[in-house]
Structure 1
């Protein structure tokens, strides 16, 4: 434990200085240390101080994962933290990082369009329903989910700057990527062309250069002389209707009904 706590102190310093590379190295060493000490999944009768250190290491790991844009790593850290947040919640003092991390997990579920899991996770929080609105970390993803269901994408975009923790922006940016593709599909179906300026606004880009890059990815034609985006129209598919098969099937169905009656 002495070596583990020394590495833990180094991790705190690296995390506070945002040295992500060193944090990654220390976290790998510390997870091995937690396994050897029986603290990654607590066993036996560990001391309160050891549990607090283990929880803090995993919480730093969860936030580090988001800062390094490693969502699978965040999933693993969050899963490991559940033991501390549930089984040992009555023994451990509250953690100031618990609800920011819980809320990041909720936003992650939204970005993956796992709406059912979002609601299940929300209902399992150790918070009464009337306290959710008062918790800035939990109310933020709840509002995001409502705005997504309403199609109020501008509110989702504006919420990026109102996020209670910086790490939210990574997930909201990912969410906006999905939203942009949905909006783009609607534009292709509704318009033959759009002014570049309007397309930039509708797609929530900060400048026309970003819109041009997106247009290229979608295969749109850009008329720079007129500052217009021309949407590529897909040819109408000609589908031959199998009339004889449909008639035969309908007659057979009618005969079976007559026999039943």
Structure 2
């Protein structure tokens, strides 16, 4: 099942994809793709619907981020061994954890804005885990039961803010528009193996990243279990699981985003995103 949110930014409505790929409105069924809707019982209720009975949504409607009510975005750094190598850093002995501000969340096709005084804005295609039920001290063998589904995230990063200024990574990761999320939340029953998903990213039509979640250092179940030992995971929380090699920072010479660039990215079975790059207004 593919769930989404559509409409103007800040006023999105819940929706789903029908068998023909059309958009259907869930506004009369649930208030949002958030909270209890993400539980097994909530998803079962949606799965029992006949999408053909739901109102159609115009195909050209803006898609918003695929989940609402996000309490936190937890990111995992250096989670692909080959990406750690291109960054010149060792594979971490346990997951590298940092947070990204929820105000960075945007729709999958919304423009990405380069911050004022930025110099090294970069791309990162990532598999996002969407939590469905509260997880606290969960064992790895039952961790996936707490997952509602999966989506694409672009962990856009301003490397100069991230790496060349004092403090932690968060300020290089959290500018408005730095977390395009969607287009859909694909429920976990439709993703039998989250560790076998090809993922890719292009800039201006040129392939920059071409990898697979099979090469993650720490897989989905491990990450959910691991994080649940340090913080309670709530419905709607997003875990962005790291990126394969091919980021601009790792190129020789480095290549960073400029206004006018276009990013396109995708993960097999989870759809595609497309973002034009613009300068921060004002």
- TM-score (normalizing by structure 1): 0.29
Higher helix fraction (1 or 2):
1
Higher strand fraction (1 or 2):
2
Q: Which has the larger radius of gyration?
A: 1
